[in-house]
Copies of this chain bind each other. A is one copy, B any other.
């Protein structure tokens, strides 16, 4: 496996692969790899000749009150995990390599962003869309892999690819869960012992909502109330939001139909957990 640090080097490598008509699978990350990322690499490995993992903590997607400096960096460990999981290339550029100075060209996103977690993170998805535009142009992947744990990010990138006609196929990968249903996250270690026992209720409340919908419930408010009630009664977490939206457009919906997402965020003492499920309502 190669570890590449510069734009020029990755460009040359990609150009050579392109000339040989190799397919390229791309897994963009900010490092601090966990099982979710490894699943993305595994999926990319199955479907492409070459698997490129990028590790770049993108300053542009951090808000002024979000801690860019404190974001965990562990390149050596990440590189080892990437190699073990079957990546061919780790692209780990410096901030200077990706942004020569303050950006003069950015992607501005106006749909799918002012809901869910995006509501409290103004400009976050502009930063995501901008860095992905740059990474897509460098890596020129045939397929790009993103975890459905951050479903809003997947929706925003889906729109980016479609509106800007990027010649890349977006592959959403299902959230990995613990045996008890809790979505895997590097933040789970910040839960107290008691909170860890309660946390699976989040996914249970979503699964319960899914069952209600399968049994015919179509009222958005009923679904939201059932989920809120369950979390309030069975955990000490503080609900940030519980929302039902169309997917991937992320529009409000009252009477459920078509593709929808049920998404939630719950604050525990030292960890804010998010989870979601998407459901296709066919009748």
Q: Are B160 and A105 in contact (CB under 8 A)?
A: yes
Q: Are B107 and A111 in contact (CB under 8 A)?
A: no
A254 to chain B, nearest CB (A): 22
A137 interface hit (Cβ, 8 Å): yes
| Complex-state Cα separation, A110 to B126, whole angstroms | 15
A134 interface hit (Cβ, 8 Å): yes
| Complex-state Cα separation, A110 to B101, whole angstroms | 13
| Complex-state Cα separation, A106 to B18, whole angstroms | 28
A99 to chain B, nearest CB (A): 8
A143 interface hit (Cβ, 8 Å): no
| Complex-state Cα separation, A160 to B134, whole angstroms | 10
A19 interface hit (Cβ, 8 Å): yes
Q: Are A164 and B134 in contact (CB under 8 A)?
A: yes
Closest to A112 in B: B104
Q: Which chain A residues in 103-140 approach chain B with CB under 8 Å?
A: 103-112, 129, 133-134, 137-138, 140
Query: Which residue, A15, A18, A167, has most C-beta atoms of chain B within 10 A?
Result: A167
A228 interface hit (Cβ, 8 Å): no
| Complex-state Cα separation, A196 to B129, whole angstroms | 48
Closest to A130 in B: B164
Closest to A113 in B: B104
A169 to chain B, nearest CB (A): 12
Query: Which residue, A15, A21, A134, A137, has most C-beta atoms of chain B within 10 A?
Result: A137
Determine which of B11, B21, B110 lies in contact with A19 in the assembled complex, contact meaning CB atoms within 8 Å.
B21
Chain A residues with a Cβ under 8 A of chain B:
7, 11, 15, 18-19, 21, 100, 103-112, 129, 133-134, 137-138, 140, 159-160, 163-167
A-B pairs, top 6 by smallest CB distance, nearest first, are A104-B111, A137-B165, A105-B163, A108-B108, A138-B165, A134-B165
